[in-house]
Structure 1
Amino acid sequence: MTQSLPRGVRNRNPGNIDHSPANNWVGQIGKEPGGRFVIFDTPENGIRALGKLLQTYYNKHKLRTVKDIIKRWAPEVENDTGAYIRTVAKRCGLGPSDQIANIKDPKILGGLVQAIIKHENANFEYPPAIFAEGLRRALA
């Protein structure tokens, strides 16, 4: 991959998930040199991790709206969280405070994952087959 691609794409970590010694993601092969983000072996496993983390936010932390999820995903100390919330909600066809009934719904989880990937990676989109496989792994 070339340096011109967004960091999340180069690291096959399209959610820009921070490296943590407590996590051992499927396909995790390290941490970026001098950085803080996980590197995955394939984009499918990076997409999987993003989807799994969103499910943890929903199930363990009881975050049920785009607003609540993105406030945790992209803290205000590092991001324009308000803009991030509005962008993700719009791309998902949801209002920022709409209740998410079922995070395991492929349309809902897929919409959130896709919107976060685009926001984190300058509107980058994976080919449909790669995205679908990553989402399938997240839902397995």
Structure 2
Amino acid sequence: MNEARGVRNRNPGNIDYNPVNQWQGQLAPDPAIEKRFARFDTPENGIRALGKLLLTYQRKHGLKTVKAIINRWAPSVENDTAAYVRAVEANTGTRPGAEVDLAQPTVMVGFVKAIIHHENAGYAYPDAVLAEGVRRALA
């Protein structure tokens, strides 16, 4: 079976590699394996980085709605952003345009789950892996 790139890299949010980001569990870059995206030692640390980045969008950049966060996460030049937003709203039980609080574990889990599903062709991690990654992000 051919795993999605994000699953293979244990980076289910498909976070671009940036030497400035010293993510917990991030592996050294290896262009022979992956030219663009970060790679992690465990899916939990990849999920942690995804959650931390979402929290930064909310806290530092003041992005409060699913649409605002996803527009930054997944620019429309690469994605069907409207469909992406609808999927995240459905997964988090959020009304379109409503503010979300990513510091709430249930909201973060729904958000992360929807992003992983979208970024990795429908892939889903076991609930325990997801919960631990989110726990690390919110710690």
In the superposition, the TM-score normalised over structure 2's length comes to 0.93
Q: State the distance in 1 between where 2:85 and 2:45 align.
A: 24
Structure 1 residue 95, shift from structure 2 partner: 2.2
1:31 Cα deviation from its structure 2 partner: 3.4
User: Deviation above 4 Å: which 4+ runs of structure 1?
Assistant: none
Q: Supply the RMSD in Å over aligned alpha carbons.
A: 1.2
Q: CA deviation at 1:30?
A: 2.8
User: What CA deviation, in whole Å up to 9, does each residue of 1:94-136 have, x standing for no partner?
Assistant: 1231111x32110111110111011111111111211111111
Percent of paired sites with the same residue: 59
Letter in 1 for 2:5: R
Structure 1 residues 32 and 96: CA distance shift in structure 2, 3 A:
farther
Which is further off, 57-66 or 81-90? 81-90
Q: 2:20 maps to what in 1? A: 22
1:57 is matched with 57
Q: TM-score, normalised by structure 1?
A: 0.93
CA distance in 2, matches of 1:71, 1:31: 27
2:115 paired residue number: 116
Aligned length: 137
Matched residue of 2:39: which SS? strand
Counterpart of 1:115 in structure 2: which amino acid?
A
Query: Does the Cα contact within 8 Å between 1:103 and 1:109 map onto a contact in 2?
Result: yes
Q: Compared with structure 1, are the counterparts of its residues 31 and 78 closer, same or farther at alpha carbon in structure 2 (3 Å cutoff)? A: farther
2 CA distance for matches of 1:128 and 1:110?
9
2:9 to 5, 8, 11: 11
1:21-63 per-residue CA deviation (whole Å, 9 max, x = no partner) reads 2111000003363521000000000000000000000000000
In structure 2, what is the equivalent of residue 87 of structure 1?
Answer: 87
**CA contact 1:13–1:39 (8 Å) conserved in 2:** yes
More strand by share: 1
Structure 1, unmatched stretches of 5+, are: none
Q: Please, which moves more after superposition, 53-62 or 102-111?
A: 102-111
Matched residue, 1:126: 125
Q: Judging changes above 3 Å, is the alpha-carbon distance between structure 1 residues 123 and 32 closer, same or farther for their aligned structure 2 residues?
A: farther
